[in-house]
Amino acid sequence: MRILLKFVIDCDPDAAWRAIHSPRAVAELYGPFVDLEPMDPAGLPTAWTPGLDVPVQMSALGLVPMGQQLIHTSERFVDEPAGRVRIFRDSGIPLTGPLSTLDVWDHQMAISPVPGQPEQTLWRERLTIAGPSAFALWPVLWGVWQWRSARIKALAPTWAHDPELAAP
């Protein structure tokens, strides 16, 4: 089963690509309802990098345990006539909790410039799930993904900030 999203956000593709690699930006997408806590005592990495495996504990409002998830990241690039498409993928798997009944978790986010508007980003997202509970979980995940899209649209303008470097 799949959930597909496609929308335009108000930041350039480079800013969106940086944000998609930021555990802090990802946490902001779900906050304050879902909390992601690292299971590794060293904490979350400063950036998701290809090949990285990061186990996290999810909770609702920081109080109700929702299960553990392994985040496994990879990326690829596709050149299209309208420009380069950068694809970030989390092919990890839920380890415990209600989502652990899924056999497949494949979450891909594609970032590309809006044709003729390089200061904006075309955001495409695909979540593919499969397993015994996929049919029952799909409506819940669809609702969460609608929330995500609203949060991405709201937060994207803040991603474009590049701090000024202080003069030596």
Which residues of the chain are modeled with pLDDT < 50? none
Following DSSP, what letter does each residue of 76-137 receive, concatenated?
EEEEETTEEEEEEEE--EE-SSGGGG-SEEEEEEEEEEETTEEEEEEEEEEEEEESTTHHHH
pLDDT at residue 164, rounded to an integer = 53
pTM value > 0.75: yes
pLDDT at residue 26, rounded to an integer = 86
Q: Which CATH architecture has domain 2-159?
A: 2-Layer Sandwich (3.30)
pLDDT at residue 36, rounded to an integer = 86
